[in-house]
A and B are shown apart, each in its own frame.
Chain A
């Protein structure tokens, strides 16, 4: 059951909301500004120059959005493929060094991924997968997989074995158990893990640059020089675009999966 907020939780909630919304509001203002200097509270004049550039075909924006999407989705699928068996083992089975294994699988995010990748880079070059989509996908799996494993593991430990036993006794063979019992139970974990993967993958800069060698251009890659190099309006426009793409992707993910498995009151 969901409860309604009382005042004690409402005040901090409001505070957090302001903290979350204010930067976005300023980003949108910035993207439409033509020079916004101290001590003005609001930009002195507006125009749509930055947006016109970002939306124009020769800016390569659409291509980079598509690249970002491709990267994020392929990374998510690979993560699922790897994390489901791992989560099953970690969440439902007892074996020697289980806890240690869990910690080891967390290592890629405990150690900064860039550091690991610096070492991996030579191997990638030897395998000649640098400057390819495959290489970048592989590099994106590194910092995202631990999150996926973590959330799927929790779901598996909640699932246990008893639900499958029950379904079996009601005549469900393994494929029906997978479809009617296992997947619905794992869905919250899969959604959480996928959302994290998509967001983290989309916001990678250094890793994409390093492995992609400037050949794989994501939205973040397009945005970075502008944020860094002085054209703040264009940088802000890219940032807003980035947020929109991520938001739409998350909403679609949530809707489609919930539609598939009418997920109620779990």
Chain B
């Protein structure tokens, strides 16, 4: 394990009071690991604890199996990229990138040689003698990344590095970071509240809420079979219904469906239905043998990037969000449609005890 955190506790009192409590967090060598969660959930605090800018109240941190809990930030050798580029305005680009090497005491020649390698890796060779304020926001963030990587740190922390950038630039920057990760194989711990970013970048990620890690896994696994309601919420699944599971039937006051889950006694919980698993038809489906078919009316439609987002009300106070590719060109708001719910794709989550 490249990074291991054990029994970390830290009282946080910025805005909302809560205690950060991380029993165990492990990040493997060369892994692109994400920390996701809504703002204020403590993900930046966790990053600062790893970097050494904050000290935990309890617990220990290991980097490459060596304990670094009490080590000063400058001795950890961990690099960090912040939301703001934080380039030193009075140094030119080359001096900025070479700063880490200068602190290590490398000769000027060596510093500048290595820095130009990383400047070209981020696509900005030729900018050596410019000053930060002459560059655009995207270019500055590229320089900040080059500056972080130039010392080939074992672990690179990134705290929402692209959230201050223009949305068009973000994709470009994500691709750049993915390329750099592929090429140099460093371990990256990346914080974001943007789920698009999470899906795009991470091999594995931890979902955080109020200072605790709710769930860890690959973005795909967490999306397709979330283990916690919060995970489903965070990943943008809106079809979450409270109800009761009895044997293999899940019932709410509006509908009841057959699931693959089984519970001999009545169990309270929620049903999570991913929007792309819902089947859509304009005339009654032939029975699927499970009876998971509902009739409703389209109350909203929305088209983006070849995908239709449709909202269907099956009764006064029960609606489903679904997505499908653009094969239903003639559908319009107000149309009556039929929805089918394949039992294998329905996820039941038992009620969580606080």
Binding site for B on A (CB under 8 A): 162-163, 165-173, 176, 180-181, 184-185, 261-266
Contact = CB atoms under 8 A, between A and B. Distances in A.
B16 interface: no
Given A167-B99, A169-B79, A264-B89, 20 more contacts: A162-B82, A162-B84, A162-B86, A163-B86, A166-B86, A166-B88, A167-B103, A168-B74, A170-B79, A170-B100, A170-B151, A171-B77, A171-B103, A171-B104, A172-B74, A172-B99, A173-B72, A173-B74, A262-B90, A264-B131
Contacts of A262: 90
A153 to B, nearest CB: 20
Contacts of A162: 82, 84, 86
B131 to A, nearest CB: 5
A171 B90 contact: no
Interface string B44-83: 0000000111000000000000000000111101111010
Contacts of B80: 166, 169
The interface centre, meaning the residue of A168, A171, A263 with most chain B CB atoms within 10 A of its CB, is A171
A265 B53 CA distance: 29
Interface of B: 51-53, 72-75, 77-80, 82, 84, 86, 88-90, 92, 99-100, 103-104, 131, 133-134, 147, 151
A173 B72 CA distance: 9
A170 B111 CA distance: 14
A163 B99 CA distance: 13
Given A264-B131, A265-B131, A265-B133, A168 B73 contact: yes
Contact of A166 (B82, B133, B134): B82
A40 B104 CA distance: 72
A171 B53 contact: no
B68 to A, nearest CB: 13
A169 B133 contact: no
Contacts of B100: 170-171
A187 to B, nearest CB: 8
A235 B277 CA distance: 95
Interface of A is mostly: helix
B201 to A, nearest CB: 21
A168 B100 CA distance: 9
Contacts of B79: 169-170
Given A168-B74, A169-B79, A169-B80, A266 B89 contact: yes
Nearest to A174: B74
B88 A181 contact: yes
A263 B82 CA distance: 24
24 contacts: A166-B80, A166-B82, A166-B86, A168-B52, A168-B72, A169-B79, A170-B99, A170-B100, A170-B103, A170-B147, A170-B151, A171-B74, A171-B151, A172-B99, A172-B103, A173-B72, A173-B74, A180-B88, A181-B88, A184-B88, A265-B90, A265-B131, A265-B133, A266-B89
Contacts of A264: 89-90, 92, 131
Contacts of A171: 74-75, 77, 100, 103-104, 151
A47 B77 CA distance: 72
A262 to B, nearest CB: 7
A265 B89 contact: yes
The interface centre, meaning the residue of B73, B100, B131, B133 with most chain A CB atoms within 10 A of its CB, is B73
A266 B88 CA distance: 10
Nearest to A185: B90
A184 B84 CA distance: 20
A160 B78 CA distance: 22
Contacts of B86: 162-163, 166
